[in-house]
Chain A
Amino acid sequence: KAGVTQTPRYLIKTRGQQVTLSCSPISGHRSVSWYQQTPGQGLQFLFEYFSETQRNKGNFPGRFSGRQFSNSRSEMNVSTLELGDSALYLCASSSRGQIEKLFFGSGTQLSVL
C-alpha cells in the first residue's frame, strides 16, 4: 500500500504570492490533517478534513485554507505569502472517523523569499 504522498517536495516563492500544496492519503483513508512545522513554533495544527468536510481548524489566519476532494485527496492554499510562512508543511491521513494514529507524508518544504 502506498504511503501518504505530498507534492511538491520543495517550493520557493516570494512574498505576496500564493501557493497550493497537495496531499494524497493512503488508499482508504478518509481523514486528512495538515500541520505546519517551524524551528521556533514546532508542529502546529492547521486543519483536518473528513469526507470533504472541515472538522477542525487551528489558530491560523484566513490566508490558510484547504479542501478535500471526493477521492480524499487534499490541497492546502496559502495566499499572500509572508516570510514567516516558511516552514515544513506536513500532511497526515487516518483511516478512522475517530483518529488515533496519524500516517504522515514527507512534507513540503516551503521557502518564502
Chain B
Amino acid sequence: SQQGEEDPQALSIQEGENATMNCSYKTSINNLQWYRQNSGRGLVHLILIRSNEREKHSGRLRVTLDTSKKSSSLLITASRAADTASYFCATDQYNFNKFYFGSGTKLNVKP
C-alpha cells in the first residue's frame, strides 16, 4: 500500500497538555498535509508542508518533515477539548492530483 501509517492509533490526554502524532510514508513526495476529522464528518485541512521545508507553524500547530526518514509529526500545543478528533496525514507522492491518506490518529482531549 502507498498509504502512510500514523502513530499512535489513539491518544488520550488532559486539556492543556501537548499532543504529538507521527506519520510515515513510503515514497518521495512533493508535499505533505494534515487534516482533522470530527466524528463521521468531512475532513478539514490544517496545514501543508512542502518537501523542501523542515518545519512549519500555524497557531497552536507545529509540523515537522524529515524526508530522509519519510516521516512527519504534528504537534498540537495547549490542547483543548475541541481538539478531540481524528487526525490524518496526506501525501501526494509526485502526483499532484491524487492523495494518499494515513490511517489516522484518534485524539481524545479530556476536559
| Of B42, B92, B103, the contact of A42 (CB 8 Å cutoff) | B103
User: Of A31, A33, A104, which one neighbours B42 at CB under 8 angstroms?
Assistant: A104
| B98→A45 contact, CB < 8 A | yes
Across the interface, do B88 and A43 meet the contact criterion of CB distance under 8 Å? yes
Q: CB < 8 Å: which of A45, A56, A88, A101 contacts B40? A: A88
User: CB-defined interface of B89-104 with A at 8 Å, one 1/0 digit per residue?
Assistant: 0101001111111111
- Least CB distance, B80 to chain A, in whole angstroms: 22
| Bitwise interface map of A from 83 to 113 toward B, beta carbon under 8 Å scored 1, else 0 | 0000010101000001111111111010000
Main SS of the interface on chain B? Answer: loop
Any B CB within 8 A of the CB of A48: yes
Docked complex Cα distance between A107 and B44 (Å): 12
Range for the number of chain A residues in contact with chain B? 20 to 34
Q: Which residues of B contact A103 (CB under 8 A)?
A: 45
Assess the B43–A90 pair: CB atoms within 8 A: yes
Across the interface, do B45 and A56 meet the contact criterion of CB distance under 8 Å?
A: no
Verify A43–B97 contact, CB threshold 8 A. no
**Given the complex of chains A and B, what is the CA–CA distance between A105 and B37 in angstroms?**
11
Q: Does A21 contact B (CB under 8 A)?
A: no
- The residue among B101, B102, B103 with the most chain A CB atoms within 10 A of its own CB is B101
Contact of A99 among B43, B97, B102 (CB under 8 A): B97
CB pair A56 B43 closer than 8 Å: no
A55 within 8 A of B: yes
B-side interface residues toward A, CB under 8 Å?
Answer: 3, 31, 33, 35, 40-45, 48, 88, 90, 92, 95-104
Question: What are 18 of the A-B contact pairs (CB < 8 Å)?
Answer: A31-B97, A33-B99, A42-B3, A42-B101, A42-B102, A42-B104, A43-B101, A45-B98, A45-B99, A45-B100, A48-B97, A98-B97, A100-B48, A101-B48, A102-B35, A102-B90, A104-B35, A106-B42
